[in-house]
Structure 1
Amino acid sequence: MTMMTPTSVPERGGFASLYSQALRLASSVPLSAVQLVSRLTVANVFWQSSQSKLASWPVTLQLFAFEYRLPVLDPGVAALLATAAELSGAILIFFGLFSRLAALMLLGVVATIQIFVYPAHWGEHLTWAAPLLLIFARGAGAISLDHLAGRFFSRER
């Protein structure tokens, strides 16, 4: 039994104490670490996708012509735009350079896939969109070329 004095608060034990400790530990994780992991994760997804398109361009063109069938765009143009966006977006996000612009571009790719290609795969698309939204909203973080450029250009003034 816990003894209480008029000015003391009852001691929390068990699950509540463990939960409070877990919250303190989670709050101590630097945002820049979360941003870095988000960048590396999403860059890998789009890098792998672009590499598979480049590995067999004739198959990629067939997929865009017969399976993906984007409205308005010629399949060859759509394949080229998608591959360029995935490749350049993955590289920019990985290095944290023009990250917010790259995240916005890749969010456009995800939205296109969701709306026109695989609308039933929304769970997977949200998995890609979540780190992209973090990067778009909060930037690339302290471990990025964006951060270094910001520090360099702020000294030049």
Structure 2
Amino acid sequence: MTMLTPTSMPARSGLAGLYSQALQFASSVPLSAVQFVARLAVAIVFWQSSQSKLASWPVTVQLFAFEYRVPVLDPGIAAVLATAAEFSGAILLFFGLFSRLAALMLLGVVATIQIFVYPGHWGEHLTWAVPLLLIFARGAGVISIDHLAVRFFSRER
């Protein structure tokens, strides 16, 4: 049984032809471009969140004490941990450095928010989790410091 791929499909006309061309175009998008855009998109979200926390630290601690209420952790400690994870995770993702570790760390932040803080906002949390899962599963791509480091350290010396 032969599988038809977008590039091996016979030429068609009309709507089927347009669909076939769309599939060919989609197949030509490099995965590294998708990884790069995913990294930037999610880095921006967590960068902005960390910056709003840092802009008014007393308000941030109050939010952790009275609204977020992460169980077991003191609100001051939870605020520091969340802010540090968002800040460092955003920077690491932006540059593509230790990207899988950064993605895993931010997935932990998203899971904490989903489970303990805003369980009804799962749709928004999925929009953050999906690019993080892509980065965790496939890495940062060739447009990253991770890629450069692998190339540098894997050279024969």
TM bucket by the smaller chain?
over 0.9
Q: Distance in 2 between matches of 1:76 and 1:148?
A: 38
- What is the aligned-residue identity percentage? 86
Q: Which runs of 5+ in 1 are unaligned?
A: 1-9
* CA drift at 1:63: 0.2
Match of 1:111 in 2: 111
TM-score in terms of structure 1 length: 0.92
Counterpart check, 1:149 vs 2:149: yes
> Of the two, which has the highest radius of gyration?
1
- C-alpha distance after superposition, 1:58-117 (max 9, x if no partner): 000000000000100000000000000000000000000000000000000000000000
The alignment yields a C-alpha RMSD, in angstroms, of 1.1
Q: Distance in 1 between matches of 2:123 and 2:27?
A: 27
What is the letter of the counterpart of residue 152 of structure 2? Answer: F
TM-score in terms of structure 2 length: 0.92
SS across alignment from 1:71: coil
Q: Distance in 1 between matches of 2:131 and 2:77?
A: 27
SS across alignment from 1:141: coil
Match of 1:18 in 2: 18
Q: Distance in 1 between matches of 2:51 and 2:81?
A: 14
* CA drift at 1:25: 0.2
Distance 1:131 1:11, change over 3 A: closer
* CA drift at 1:12: 2.9
Q: Which runs of 5+ in 2 are unaligned?
A: 1-9
The correspondence of residues 77-116 of structure 1 with structure 2, limited to 5 A, is 77-116=77-116
Q: Distance in 1 between matches of 2:32 and 2:52?
A: 30
Q: Distance in 1 between matches of 2:125 and 2:11?
A: 45
What is the total number of aligned residue pairs between the two structures? 148
Match of 1:124 in 2: 124
Q: Distance in 2 between matches of 1:12 and 1:120?
A: 46
* CA drift at 1:14: 1.1
Q: Distance in 2 between matches of 1:20 and 1:80?
A: 51
